[in-house]
Chains A and B, each alone.
Chain A
Amino acid sequence: MIVLRDVIQQFGGRIVLEIPELHFKSGRRYGLIGENGSGKTTLIRMLAGTSKPTSGRIEGLEGKIVGYLPQSPYAFSFSVLQNAALALDGHKDAKELTKKALHAVGMESLVDARGDRLSGGEAQRMALARVLVRSYDVLLLDEPTSSTDVRSMDLIENTLREYVQKTQCTLIFSTHSPAQAFRLADEVLYLEKGRLVEQGSAETLFHSPQDERTIAFLKHWSLNS
């Protein structure tokens, strides 16, 4: 289990995230929702270790293999296949595993294309394949489908479901779409202005939210979008 205790993140004196206590149970899927600036990316970056909290502790990640897809992943100027195989350097089945991961995100026809010449959506799918080529204890995805079209989104969501089932990893992802959180997550966390407002099972949070702020946020969204 991953536990955050009294975690505060400040940038330039401004508190961007403040979480007194939060638990992520092993093997479950968590969806973070909230508007821009709510602290989703900050929370994911802290869990990934690319940003250190100003104060507080994050426990339970010691010795764990953590995979992380940032919001703006870098597309290297070599081929899609080489890009996606980066995490498997030296692995004897690297090519086969990479092709499989690219196929899972619908990128099999672009294996020879240059990574830095892909469209935004294609680059995002390539980056996701690059992460999914290997297995992790914890997988962190920061808006993994923000640039993808609806058809690709279905494919990616199915791929993620299969991946989590196969690897039994803990999945923590952020999304702008509450509907996606509802489809993918076991538990959904609503953040606002750097604070965790409400947390619960996807079903409970969407059908009977308790906090007024959650109700106000969700009323703008349809679960079909």
Chain B
Amino acid sequence: MAEVITHETEHHHYEPGHEKTLGAKIARWVFTTNHKDIGTLYLWLSFLMFFVAGGMALLIRTELFMPGARFISPEFFNQMTTMHGLIMVFGVVMPALTGLANWQIPLMIGAPDMALPRLNNWSFWLLPFAFLLLISTFFIEGPAPNFGWTFYAPLSTQYGPPSTDFMIFAIHLMGLSSIMGAINIIATIINMRAPGMSYMKMPVFAWSWFITAFLLLGIMPVLAGCVTMMLTDRHFGTSFFNAAGGGDPLLFQHLFWFFGHPEVYVLILPAFGIISEILPTFSRKKIFGYRFMVYAIVVIAVLSYVVWAHHMFTTGIPLASELFFMYATMIIAVPTGVKVFNWTATMFKGSLSFETPMLFAIGFLFMFTFGGFSGLMLAIVPADVQYQDSYFVVAHFHYVLMSGSVYAIMAAIYYWLPKWCGYMYCEKLGKWHFWLTTLGMNITFFVMHFLGLAGMPRRIPDYPLQFEDFNRIATIGAFILGFSQLIFLYNVIKTIRGKNRVKASAEVWEGHHGLEWTVASPAPYHTFSTPPKID
């Protein structure tokens, strides 16, 4: 404590860049309390996991290239679908969005850092350990988790492999990380806004994360409770999910989807925020209907808590519940429609230009909306009886997740990367990346709608002959999609190392708006130590 007292009220701000040894260089990243450093760490973890889980997807698609293939064993196939889903949700999209929040929210609201910087470090540094634990399940005795990313009881309780316990604890760590991250974001937005930055002046991205953080606080503890019940059912003789003792496997689904449905909005609301930043910039107009964009996010978040059982239409829940959850789900189309309308209206009569972030944003607008429509089809109870557990569902959620959340994340990285590292990315490579990704994305997932409608179930390693053509097409698309991400990686690394030799100005984009463009590029290690003036 002595070293603190000597500084009294004004203390010395740590600046990196003087590390000589490798140990000191590593220590900088491990001990950092800086929101920019932590944002970078989140984004790189997400990038790494993107290739890990993407590799799993390619193994899945290779196995499905033709019927009767034995490229991987059916047992391993099940582990691949499980881990692909878990890692993509918890290891790719969530960390990437949190990384963007860390980088951008303090810059956007004029704060010197996140409200609780040490806690911020802990939120990140729990994640590598969580994924170490999750991925270690491949190397212990017995199979890795093999019951699908939704880990339904009793598959995961009575019949789950020993590795399930490692997965449970990994989810506990991830949940803890998310809860602490959410608390930090809420405290930052409530308490750290620059004077004059009223709530209704906040950028939509900050708003979207503000709401998302509340969603996280309302659902991650439920997931923690749910996996704790799994653990006690597996080892301590409780009967939460066992009807022989008066419990119910359906209780698992209720708890899981009470978490799971708001969770998909956790994955998409910050993406909405990103798109609401990018479209105005490249349309050179203000966002159309700012207030309604904010209200729509709030309404979507509230509704997301009361729609969970639309994942359970075929489980035999009462008819009255089915009707309630069907209508509640369809009502979400209204605020979502408001958002799509306002994005379109933002572009209307704007002077548009099509740099890579804008391309991804427009790709998002088309394909996310498409995925939203297939979601409406799934929401209709009698139709869902047909679609349930088929490839139609796989097609639907990849349209909203891959060409929704992931497209928005990619758009955000192209959009803000010049601000972060001070160099422009290579526009030509960016365009190649966009078009190849969009091509691969649609070749892979569009045909899955037909497969599903024709009756091909999801999560199977083999299929009847009549599904062969579409599966081959999907596999070819998946390889285009997967390998075109290497262009992205190359472009990002090249930009960070300044190989493009094109320095970014502070404003970066002609149609820029917001506080982040008022600081230099690259953004200095400490920004807004004195709060900016907002009028």
Q: Do A and B come from one complex?
A: no
B-to-A contact residues, CB < 8 Å: none
Q: Which A residues are closer than 8 A to B by beta carbons?
A: none
